[in-house]
Amino acid sequence: MKNRATGWEQVFLPIRPNGSVGWVRDRNVTLALDPYTVWVSLKSPRITVFDGSKLVLNTPAGVGRSVLPTPHGTYYLVELLKQPNPNGPYGPYAFGLSAYSNVLQSFGGGPGQIGLHGTDYPQGLGTNVSHGCIRVSNAAIAKLAQLLPLGTPVQITD
């Protein structure tokens, strides 16, 4: 959520362009507190997860290469997909973020949505290796899949 006005809530929308917002009536939503925050550092590729002020996870991540960068900004978790092959390229789980690639209009048959997922290439963690998605170890994504509710904010910064 971004701003509030009498009778209205401003919300981030999971559409292009990144950062799009809309307004919904107060009476049509239920507000809930999500104590979790996910921080992604692109400079030294890492993901850090907090429950309030308590550190829950701090681990290397694989992020976008220079030609296919991970977009900066404030996003949130939109969906969680259990993968059919837990040892495949996306690991056991993949979160879809509200972020979209600023370079690719489509990828793998989808709309170029940025994901947070596991990997079958753990050597790439801590480097710029992806098409824009955020990769973590399979153990880390399994933990996050059990912990984080949809709607959890994701801050992607340098």
For residue 7, is it left (φ>0), alpha (ψ between -120 and 50) or beta? left
**Phi, psi (deg, nearest 5) at residue 142:** -65, -40
Kindly provide the b/e burial profile for residues 5-43, where b requires at least 16 CB atoms within 10 angstroms of the residue's own CB: eeeebebbebeeebeeeeeeeeeeeeeeeeebbbebebe
Q: Over the chain, what is the mean pLDDT?
A: 96
Average pLDDT over residues 3-8: 87
Please answer whether residues 112 and 105 qualify as being in contact, where contact means their C-beta atoms are separated by less than 8 angstroms.
yes
Q: What pLDDT does 3 receive? A: 77
Query: Annotated catalytic residue: which of 133, 134, 140, 145?
Result: 133
pLDDT band at 109; cut points 50, 70, 90: confident
pLDDT band at 5; cut points 50, 70, 90: confident
Which of 12-21, 47-56, 103-112 has the lowest average pLDDT? Answer: 103-112
Q: Which comes out higher in pLDDT, residue 31 or 75? A: 75
Q: Which of 69, 54, 58 is nearest to 134 (CA)?
A: 69
Q: What pLDDT does 2 receive? A: 59
pLDDT band at 103; cut points 50, 70, 90: very high
In the chain, where does the domain assigned CATH 2.40.440.10 lie?
36-157
According to CATH, the superfamily of the domain at 36-157 is L,D-transpeptidase catalytic domain-like (2.40.440.10)
Active site residue 72: no
> How would you class 140 by CB atoms within 10 Å of its CB: exposed for 0-12, middle for 13-18, buried for 19 or more?
buried
Q: What pLDDT does 4 receive? A: 82
Q: Is the pLDDT of residue 134 over 60?
A: yes
The structure tokens listed for 148 are 């984080």
CA pair distance 50, 148, nearest whole angstrom: 10
> How would you class 66 by CB atoms within 10 Å of its CB: exposed for 0-12, middle for 13-18, buried for 19 or more?
exposed
pLDDT band at 108; cut points 50, 70, 90: confident
Q: Is the pLDDT of residue 1 over 70?
A: no
Query: Annotated catalytic residue: which of 45, 75, 116, 117?
Result: 117
Active site residue 131: no
> How would you class 49 by CB atoms within 10 Å of its CB: exposed for 0-12, middle for 13-18, buried for 19 or more?
buried
Q: What pLDDT does 19 receive? A: 94
CA pair distance 10, 108, nearest whole angstrom: 32
Q: Which comes out higher in pLDDT, residue 73 or 108? A: 73
